[in-house]
């Protein structure tokens, strides 16, 4: 979380324009090996031996060829499996054009189609570990504040669209 620098926002703005249509992604997922689809496959890089200076679990970038990339840092490796899935989905949501942190969380929760228990686990992790990707400044209670924003702005977090 995961992201948030101004430079990244600029990058994401350009990425949103150059990113493929969903049709092309679907074609890539079906195994259609067009050059365009191959180029747009998300690359994942594990820098889990390194702490991100702003405590991010992961962030998005582009590799030298311009391919969308997710880079994972040490904090990611300390998270339980269900939260790793949430982080990965959150970053993929950024790559799909959700630039804002809350919007990326809403997108991730929507895509994960969590059970009530699954949602409660994500909530508990965010609150108890003080996860807040909107700020680089550490303070107690930021996880709770972050969750409140998520809950008030995205239907899946409030349980309205749960299975
Ligand atoms: Zn983010």
Residues 98-107: tens digit of each pLDDT? 999 999 999 9
Q: Please report, rounded to a whole number, the percentage of residues in the chain having pLDDT higher than 70.
A: 72
User: What gap in Å lies between CA 144 and CA 128, rounded to an integer?
Assistant: 8
Q: Write out pLDDT tens, residues 26-65.
A: 444 444 455 555 557 999 999 999 999 888 999 999 989 9
Q: How many A from CA of 3 to the centre of ligand 1?
A: 4
Tokens of 139: 């303070």
Closest CA to 111 of 132, 137, 91, 135: 91
pLDDT at 37: 55
- CA 97 – ligand 1 centroid, Å: 11
Kindly give the distance from the C-alpha atom of residue 1 to the centroid of ligand 1, in angstroms, as a whole number. Answer: 4
What is the b/e burial string over 23-57, where b = at least 16 CB atoms within 10 angstroms of the residue's CB?
ebbebbeeeeeeeebeebebeeeeebeeebebbbb
Residues near ligand 1 ion, CB 5 Å cutoff: 1-3, 101, 104, 133
Q: Which residue in 151, 137, 64 sits closest to 105, CA to CA?
A: 151
Name the residue among 79, 78, 104, 124 with its Cα closest to residue 2: 104
Distance 92 CA to ligand 1 centre (A): 9
- Note the pTM of the prediction, 2 decimals: 0.74
pLDDT at 79 over 70: yes
């Amino acid at each position: 979380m995961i992201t948030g620098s101004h430079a990244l926002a600029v990058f994401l703005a350009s990425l949103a324009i150059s990113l493929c249509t969903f049709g092309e992604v679907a074609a890539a997922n079906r195994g259609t090996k067009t050059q365009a689809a191959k180029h747009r496959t998300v690359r994942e890089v594990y820098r889990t031996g390194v702490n991100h200076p702003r405590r991010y679990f992961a962030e998005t970038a582009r590799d030298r060829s311009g391919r969308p990339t997710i880079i994972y840092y040490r904090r990611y490796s300390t998270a339980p499996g269900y939260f790793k899935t949430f982080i990965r989905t959150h970053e993929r949501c950024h790559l799909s054009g959700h630039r804002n942190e809350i919007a990326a969380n809403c997108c991730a929760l929507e895509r994960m189609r969590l059970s009530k228990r699954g949602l409660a686990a994500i909530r508990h992790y965010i609150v108890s570990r003080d996860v807040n990707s909107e700020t680089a400044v550490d303070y107690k209670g930021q996880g709770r504040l972050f969750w409140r924003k998520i809950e008030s702005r995205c239907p899946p977090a409030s349980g309205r669209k749960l299975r």
